[in-house]
Amino acid sequence: MHELSLAMEVIRIAERESAIIPVSAIKEISIEVGDLSGVEAGAFQSALELLTRDSVLEGANIKIIRTSGTGICNSCNKEFEMHSFMASCPDCRAFPSVVKGGKEFRVVSLVVD
């Protein structure tokens, strides 16, 4: 359940930002979770919802943006949707590929009052 400590890190980031830019309330936080990031998005969202109580994120809408994995085949350079690290190229069946997208795990933005 590392999602709990990751959620705590999000609270820290929100606290740090709201100290830099004084805001009356954070209305929404957008978080990008890549499919190959190693984060279970549902568990992470539940953990974050739990932790927002009595924090600067209390009452804020939590918006999770899922990014699918993409890979580039080492052999034929084809870019393809990658559902796992074991995925081989759909065109030439070659392996391995370079992971291009899907490892993102970041706070994208806040909507504040």
Partner 1 sequence: MCDTCGCGKPGEFVIHDHSHSHDHDHDHDHDHDHNHEHEHHHDHDHSHEHVHPHSHDHEHGKVIDLNVDILSENNRLAELNRRFFAGRKVMCLNLVSSPGSGKTTILEKTIESLQGSHKISVIEGDQQTLLDADRIEKAGAPAIQINTGSGCHLDARMVDMAVQKLDPETKSILFIENVGNLVCPAMFDLGEHKRVVVISVTEGDDKPLKYPYMFQSSHLCLINKSDLLPYVDFSTDETIRHARSINPSLEFIILSAKTGEGMERWIEWIVKQTEATL
Q: Which of 19, 28, 68, 81 binds partner 1 (CB under 8 A)?
A: 28
The tokens describing 32, both together, are: 């990008």
Question: Could you give the count of Cα atoms lying within 13 Å of 72 in the half-sphere of its Cβ?
Answer: 4
The tokens describing 23, both together, are: 């805001």
The single-letter code of the amino acid at 76 is C
| Distance of closest approach, residue 87 Cβ to partner 1, in angstroms | 10
Cis amide leading into 22 (omega within 30): no
**How many residues interact with partner 1 (rule CB under 8 A)?**
35
x-or-dash pattern for partner 1, window 42-81, by CB under 8 A?
---------x------------------------------
φ, ψ dihedrals at 107, nearest 5°: -85, 115
Where does this chain touch partner 1 (CB under 8 A) — which range of 1-9, 64-72, 75-83?
Answer: 1-9
- The separation between the first and the last C-alpha atoms of the chain, rounded to the nearest angstrom, is 33
- Applying CB under 8 A, the residues found at the interface with partner 1 are 1-2, 4-6, 8-10, 12-13, 16-17, 20-21, 23, 27-28, 31, 38-39, 51, 84-86, 95-96, 105-113
